[in-house]
Amino acid sequence: VKAINLPAAFWDFAHKLGSDYEVVKLLKLLSRYSIPALLESIQEASSYGSYCYESVRTKLEEKQYKDTPVNPVTNPVEIKQVDLSAYDVMVTGGESA
């Protein structure tokens, strides 16, 4: 970890986390995101006073999926009425209601 020379801002944030486990999870984010992206999300989380791994991860994911879909789904889902008469017969012991 020392070999990658993470900036002081990373370590300042890491020292405020609740556990070493959260620091490890924060370090694992580097396998998916760049150091600048991680530092930007750390800064945003810090500005809200939120010192936890989940805040940083959420900020990173928000940026990743910020764009709206090219073809958003606009047609409503149609649900057809279900015929429950067979169930009603079963519940009443075989007699039709």
Cα separation, 53 vs 60, whole angstroms? 11
Per-residue pLDDT of the chain (97 residues; tens, 9 = 90+): 777 788 999 999 999 998 999 999 999 999 899 899 999 999 999 998 989 999 999 999 888 766 555 666 667 778 788 888 888 888 887 765 5
Residue 64, CB-side half-sphere exposure with 13 Å CA sphere: 12
Cα separation, 41 vs 57, whole angstroms? 8
Cα separation, 58 vs 52, whole angstroms? 10
**Would the pTM count as exceeding 0.85?**
no
Instruction: Quote the tokens at residue 21.
Output: 């486990």
